[in-house]
Structure 1
Amino acid sequence: MADCARLNYACTNGSSISFDITGGAAPPVYCWKKELFSLYFEDTNFNGSIVLPDVFETYRITFEGGWPARANVTAAEVEAFRNKTTIDEADILNLTGVTSPLLLNISSIDFPDLVNISDLSIRYSGNLSSLTMPKLENINGRLHLDLSYGPAISLSFPKLSQVEQDMYLEGKIDALEFPALDSSRHINVTTTGDLDCLAFAKSVVNTTKWPVENEGPENRNSSVVCNSNTASVTMHPMPPPPEESTGSRDGLDFCRSLILLAILVAGASSMTERTKLVYQQDGEQLLHTANVLSIVPVSELPKPDQALVKDSSDIEHAVITESTIFYVQGGGQPSDIGIMTKANSSFEVQSVRQPAHGGQILHLGRFVPVGAIAFDAGEEIQQHVDAEKRNLYSRLHTAGHILGLAINALCREGVLPPLTESKASHYPDSAAVEFGGLIEGKHKDVIQAKTDEFVRSARPVKIHWWSMEELLEKCSGVTEGFELPEGEVMGRVVEMEGLGSYPCGGTHVQDCSQVGKIEVKKISRSKGISRVSYRVA
C-alpha cells in the first residue's frame, strides 16, 4: 500500500483531496502533499498487508470495522437496546440486521518509522496477525487494541516508553512485551491466548501510575489488570516501607518487588454500570425520579476526579445515581445545575462531570442546609434542573450550530472561501465557532444576515441516532479522527431541519427561532484559525 502521507493533498483551489498514488497516475499539478494529521481506515474489502513508511508523528491512527445499522432503526429501538441488562444475538440482529460486525481483513500493519502519536486504536479486525511499530516511543493519549475477532497474535513495543492515558488490549494474545515502558496510567489486558498474566503484570507493575495519596490498599486503583482463561491478576505498586533495623527482610523485599498482588481464579469482575443519560432522549424534561447508587465525599474521590472540583468550599460530596437528567459538562456546553431532594434532605448540584474512569456520572455539590441528612444508597430521590440555566445553555448550543451552518452555507455560495470547521464553545462568556482558513472582518455583516435568515426560518430542531456511515455522510463539523463513544453503535445527531446537522450530545431548543437573537460579535484570526464570537439575546 502507498505511503499514507502521500495520499492527502491540499490544493490551490482551496479543496482537500485524497489521491491513491498506487493508481499509476500523478496527482493534479495544483495540489501538494500536506502533513498527515490522522489516519482512519475502515475498508473491509481490503485484503493483505499495510506498510506505511515515512510517518514519524501523527495525531491519531484508527483501524476499525464496525456494526452496520438498519436504515429504518428508530431512537426508541436504540434506547431499548441500551437499557437491556443482558444482550443476546436476537437483540443485535434486531438493531443492526446482523449478528456480527463487519471485520477488517488486514493481515498485518507496519509503521516502521512512527515515533510519536496521540491515540492508536484497532477494533473489529478479523485477520490481523502482525502489528509492527519498532520505533514507537510515545503515545500521548490512549492505546486501544480490540483484536478479539482475530487470530492469535504476539505483540511487542520495544521502544514504547510512555503512554499518558490508559492501555486496553483484548484478543488471543500469546505474548505481550513493553521492555522500555516507564510511564503509564493504567493497563488492562484480556486474553484468550497463552499469555502468562502473572508474569506480564510483574514485568510492568512498577511503570504505572496510581493515586498514592489515597490511604489504605482498599482505596487504591489497580494499575495493571490482566484476565486470561485461567486467572485474573490485579496488581499495583506501593511505596516502599520504612527501613527497619532488625528482623527478616524477605517479606519486605517481596513487597517491594510485587508490592500488591491479588489473583482471582476464573475470570474478571463485571464492569460498573453506566449512568443512563435521560436528557439525551428528552431534553425538555426538567424533573426526574432516580435511585441513588452512592454518596462520596470529595476528599475520598480518586485524585483525577478531585481535580474536577474548582471551589471545595461549595462542593463537598459527589452523588451518583443510576440515571440523570442533568447535562454532563462537555462538548463545549456547561453542565446543568439544580437540586436533588427527598422528603427531609436536599442536595445542591453545582457541577455535573464525567469521571476520569468509568461511566458513573458525578453530581458535585453539597447538602443543604449545613448538617442536613444525607441520602442513602438505594433511596429514590427527585432531580430538579434549573430551568433558566438549561434554557440559556440550550439556546447557546443551538445558536452555535446555526452560526456554523450559516458560515458553511456562505462557503457553498462562494461568498466565503473554502473553510474547515474546527471546534466550538457554547459558554455564555466565551461562545464562538472556529474554522480553519481565513474569514476577513469585512464578512461580519453577511454572516450576521445569513444567521438572521436561519433563525427567522424557525426550522425544527430534531435529535436522531445515526450509524457512523450516515453520520459521516450527512453531518457538518466532523473533525479528523472522530469516533463514536466506547461501546456505541449509533451516534447522536442534532439536525436543524433543511439546514444541516452535527454530531452532538448537547441540549437544544425545539426550533431555530427559539434561540432568540444571535449577535455576531467579532471575527478574530490567529495561526490560520478564524474565530467567530457570538452571544444570544
Structure 2
Amino acid sequence: MTERVYLDEPDTPKLTATVLASRAAGIVLDRTVFYARGGGQPGDTGVLRWAGGETVIIDTVKGEGAEILHQPAPNAVPPPAGTIVEAVIDWQRRHALMRMHTTLHLLCSLIKGAAVTGGSIGAEKSRLDFDLPASPAKEAIEADLNALIAADHKVSIGWVDESVLDTDPGLVRTMSVQPPRGSGRLRLIRIGEADAPVDLQPCGGTHVSRTGEIGPMRVAKIENKGKQNRRIIIAPG
C-alpha cells in the first residue's frame, strides 16, 4: 500500500520514502507526494533521488489495489527495493494543475443545476463539459469566475463517511465519473466557509489553499458539443 500524502498535504513538494517494489510497470513507494493520474487530472512528474543515483519520473498512475506506480523515463535505472529515496515532484507543473483544478470547481459553481458530462485538466488550458441546452454568456462567466478568484476564498479538505452519497447524492455533479466507494471515507473539497460554501464536491485531486493563489483566468472558448452539451475552455489570463 502506498500512503497518499498529497491527499492531506497537497502543498508538500517532496518527501523521503522507501522503495517497496521496482518493476517494469513502475516504482512503488511506501508513501508519496506524486499524484496518480485520475479524475481528469494528469499524473505528476518529477525525480527520485538516492545515494548514488536518480530516476526521472515521467508519469504517475494507479496500480493494483492501493499501489501507486511511479513510471521512470525510458532506459532509466530504477532504485532497487529497500532503497531510501527523496521523491520530488515538478512543483511548477503541479501548482499550475492545482490552480486549474480549483478554477474548474469555481466554474462548476457558476453553472448551477447542470451536470458535468466530462472534463480535462491541463497546465495551459482546461475544460468542463456541461449538460446544457444553450451556451452561457462568455463575458459574464469570465467576470464572475475572476470575482470568485479575487475574493480569496479558503479551500479546505474534509473527510466524511461515504454514506453521505446516499443521503445527499446532489454532492456529485459529474455524470461520467463517480467517487470511488468501498474505503468507508469520502474526501470533500470545500471552497468558502462551512456554513455557506461557494462549492462543495467529492474530489481526489490536488487544489490550492486559497482562490487568490490562482491568478486571473479567461474563458478561452465556449463550444457546442451536441444538442445538450456545452464545453467551456479556460486558460490563464
TM-score, with length taken from structure 2: 0.88
Aligned position for 1:365 = 72
Identical aligned pairs, as a percentage?
24
Question: Following TM superposition, by how much is the alpha carbon of 1:390 offset from its aligned partner in structure 2, in angstroms?
Answer: 1.1
Change over 3 Å in CA distance of 1:380–1:481 after alignment to 2: closer
Question: Following TM superposition, by how much is the alpha carbon of 1:469 offset from its aligned partner in structure 2, in angstroms?
Answer: 4.1
Aligned position for 1:451 = 145
Aligned position for 1:165 = none
For 1:321, which of 15, 21, 29 is the aligned residue? 29
Aligned position for 2:126 = 431
The 3-state SS of whatever aligns with 2:79 is coil
Q: Could you report, residue by residue, the CA deviation over 1:455-508 in whole angstroms, capped at 9, with x for unpaired residues?
A: 1111000011122343563735253883534x3111111111120111111111
Aligned position for 1:534 = 234
Aligned residues of 2:125 and 2:236 also touching (Cα < 8 A): no
Structure 1 counterpart of 2:156, one-letter code: K
Aligned position for 1:279 = 6
Q: Could you report, residue by residue, the CA deviation over 1:391-412 in whole angstroms, capped at 9, with x for unpaired residues?
A: 111011111111111222xxxx
C-alpha RMSD of matched pairs (Å): 2.2
Matches within 5 A, 1:227-376: 274-297=1-24, 301=25, 318-355=26-63, 357-366=64-73, 374-376=78-80
The 3-state SS of whatever aligns with 2:157 is strand
Aligned residues of 1:327 and 1:352 also touching (Cα < 8 A): yes
Q: Could you report, residue by residue, the CA deviation over 1:84-138 in whole angstroms, capped at 9, with x for unpaired residues?
A: xxxxxxxxxxxxxxxxxxxxxxxxxxxxxxxxxxxxxxxxxxxxxxxxxxxxxxx
Distance 1:469 1:438 in 2: 32
Structure 2 portions without partners, runs of 5+: none
Change over 3 Å in CA distance of 1:478–1:532 after alignment to 2: closer
Distance 2:72 2:179 in 1: 32
Aligned position for 1:109 = none
Aligned residues of 1:477 and 1:503 also touching (Cα < 8 A): no
The 3-state SS of whatever aligns with 1:383 is strand
Aligned position for 1:399 = 103
Distance 2:154 2:175 in 1: 25
Aligned residues of 1:419 and 1:438 also touching (Cα < 8 A): no
Aligned residues of 1:478 and 1:503 also touching (Cα < 8 A): no
Aligned residues of 2:117 and 2:176 also touching (Cα < 8 A): no
Q: Could you report, residue by residue, the CA deviation over 1:132-153 in whole angstroms, capped at 9, with x for unpaired residues?
A: xxxxxxxxxxxxxxxxxxxxxx
The 3-state SS of whatever aligns with 2:104 is helix
Aligned residues of 2:126 and 2:233 also touching (Cα < 8 A): yes
For 2:159, which of 441, 455, 465 is the aligned residue? 465
Distance 1:342 1:502 in 2: 38
Aligned position for 2:219 = 520
Change over 3 Å in CA distance of 1:371–1:482 after alignment to 2: closer
For 1:385, which of 69, 72, 89 is the aligned residue? 89
Structure 2 counterpart of 1:347, one-letter code: T
Structure 2 counterpart of 1:532, one-letter code: I
Distance 1:483 1:276 in 2: 19
Aligned residues of 2:14 and 2:86 also touching (Cα < 8 A): yes
Q: Could you report, residue by residue, the CA deviation over 1:231-261 in whole angstroms, capped at 9, with x for unpaired residues?
A: xxxxxxxxxxxxxxxxxxxxxxxxxxxxxxx
Distance 2:135 2:179 in 1: 32
Distance 2:61 2:76 in 1: 25
- Shifted more, 506-515 versus 432-441: the winner is 432-441
Question: Following TM superposition, by how much is the alpha carbon of 1:321 offset from its aligned partner in structure 2, in angstroms?
Answer: 1.1
Change over 3 Å in CA distance of 1:480–1:380 after alignment to 2: closer
Flag the structure with more relative contact order, 1 or 2, with Cα contacts below 8 A and sequence separation at least 6. 2
Higher Rg? 1
Question: Following TM superposition, by how much is the alpha carbon of 1:334 offset from its aligned partner in structure 2, in angstroms?
Answer: 1.0
Distance 1:523 1:346 in 2: 43
Q: Could you report, residue by residue, the CA deviation over 1:368-425 in whole angstroms, capped at 9, with x for unpaired residues?
A: xx786x42211211101111011111011111111111222xxxxxxxxx53233321
Aligned residues of 2:45 and 2:90 also touching (Cα < 8 A): yes
Matches within 5 A, 1:107-256: none
2:187 corresponds to 1:492: yes
Aligned residues of 1:287 and 1:383 also touching (Cα < 8 A): yes
Distance 2:97 2:76 in 1: 32
The 3-state SS of whatever aligns with 1:499 is strand
Q: Could you report, residue by residue, the CA deviation over 1:29-75 in whole angstroms, capped at 9, with x for unpaired residues?
A: xxxxxxxxxxxxxxxxxxxxxxxxxxxxxxxxxxxxxxxxxxxxxxx
- Structure with a larger share of its residues in strand: 2
The 3-state SS of whatever aligns with 2:140 is helix
Distance 1:533 1:433 in 2: 7
